[in-house]
Amino acid sequence: MNRRRFIQQGVAGLLAANAASAQSVDGLIASIEKITLKRGSDGSGPSWFHPRPCLVPSKDGPVVFMTMQEIRGSDYFLPVHWMESRDLGQTWTEPQPVPTLGRDPTTDGRGDEGVCDVVPQYHAQTGSVLALGHNVFYRGPKFDRKQPSRCPVYAVYKDGKWSARKRLLWDDPRGAFIYTNNCGQREVLEDGSIAFMMSFGPTEVGRSAAGVRCSFDGETLSIQQVGREIKHAAGRGLLEPSMVRYRGKFYATIRAEDSRGYMAASDDGLDFAEKQPWCWDDGTPLDMSTTQQHWLSHSEALHLVYTRKDASNVNVMRWRAPLFMAQVDLNSLRLIRETERVVLPLIGDGVNAAAEVPLMGNFQTLNVTPDESWVTDGEMTPKFSYKGDMVLGKIRWSRPNKLA
């Protein structure tokens, strides 16, 4: 048997094992289905990237509100758009631009300032959606590789209208080069304050991370507290952290550039214990390559969604396909290996034709109903003008999720 056929059979076996293990592993996952939301790989439409949904209540039932933006090059995005579904993803409105999250010429004439990595979240206390991302700079049709200082920016959607774009202010010199919560999950607390983890640094290397507590009145987001600094010297340091509150504790998962991803835990969401690399339950570290991870919570278990090195993807850039999920052991803070499942499969041959494999990894998770959760992602293929589909992994639970 040649190696290519072996790998293809291995991928098929892994997908088959997904179905067979639905009731034999943690018993929670009844099925996983891939759905294409928007076609872009065939050139019939834009290649939508950063698809990130949230649920907004209404008198007629929940509305799925999603932001996304078109990708046309390496870290090169067009203005932020939004769309919504009023039937839990069966049909969607056409994407339309967020008027205040577009691109503007910089005052120094060097190019344009835009917005990317936006995550929307419903804020029940004010009845608004906070869309938080960060600024980004372009020179012509390319990402400016000499980025000026960067910070979080946001806009608020309420009563059918978008607010002006605002900056989240922080005058700490530790964030002189960058401070951001780009692509990050965050928590709305009972008093309306917002908790998240921020990545920051005075230079472009060796960023730190820390828990942050913000006030939000439906119009202005303001930093009130910053917790203990977690440092990391490798490469650019700690990137794109995501936070979840689960069973009374806060957990953070953080992208890094030393072939690892990291996690940390906290009682208050501000002072996190020292980070530790993601490992399997036997103590073996996962091989990860500078790609974000996110949380998916169920009332009976906490899961992590991530990418990692695997026999099927050894030549895929940053091993950015397939997208996996596994249950977290809350005692050891490790991943239970036998619970690993594929959420969005690798398409193609990740060994012999890796450049043709659609890349993933800029994704979001969402609990939609007690019986169903989503993982949304935007594919891209750098070899083919960054074309890709916008896809959804629909996870059906065998037991109701009381957190939904």
* Tokens (6 digits) for 48: 């939508």
What does the DSSP 8-state code read for residue 333? T
Q: Tell me what the pLDDT averaged over the chain comes to.
A: 94
Give all strands (DSSP E) within 256-378, no chain letters. 261-266, 276-277, 294-298, 301-306, 323-329, 334-335, 341-344, 363-369, 372-378
Q: Domains of the chain: which residue ranges?
A: 3-397
Query: Cα dihedral angle (83, 87, 88, 91), rounded to 10 degrees?
Result: -50
Alpha carbon separation from 214 to 165, 166, 170, 197, 277 (Å, rounded)? 17, 15, 11, 11, 28
Residue 100 contacts residue 155 (beta carbons within 8 Å): yes
* End-to-end C-alpha distance for the chain, whole angstroms: 47
**What integer pLDDT is reported at residue 289 of this predicted model?**
96
Instruction: Calculate what percentage of the chain has a pLDDT beyond 90.
Output: 92
**Rounded Cα distance, 359 and 256, in Å:** 18
Residue with tokens 């730190």, as numbered in its chain: 208
**Rounded Cα distance, 90 and 77, in Å:** 27
For residue 18, pLDDT over 50 is answered with no
pLDDT band at 11 (very low <50, low <70, confident <90, very high): very low
pLDDT band at 142 (very low <50, low <70, confident <90, very high): very high
pLDDT band at 324 (very low <50, low <70, confident <90, very high): very high
pLDDT band at 14 (very low <50, low <70, confident <90, very high): very low
Alpha carbon separation from 156 to 101, 109, 241, 366 (Å, rounded)? 11, 28, 22, 20
Instruction: Calculate what percentage of the chain has a pLDDT beyond 70.
Output: 94
Would you report the helix, strand and coil content of the chain in percent, each value rounded to 5?
A: 10, 45, 45
Phi first, then psi, for residue 164 (nearest 5°) are: -65, 160
pTM of this structure: 0.93
**What integer pLDDT is reported at residue 27 of this predicted model?**
85
pLDDT band at 261 (very low <50, low <70, confident <90, very high): very high
Query: Cα dihedral angle (178, 241, 268, 170), rounded to 10 degrees?
Result: 10
Lowest mean pLDDT among 4-8, 34-38, 243-247: 4-8
Three-state DSSP class for 384? helix
Q: Give CATH for domain 3-397.
A: 2.120.10.10
Q: What is the mean pLDDT of residues 152-168?
A: 98
For residue 158, pLDDT over 80 is answered with yes
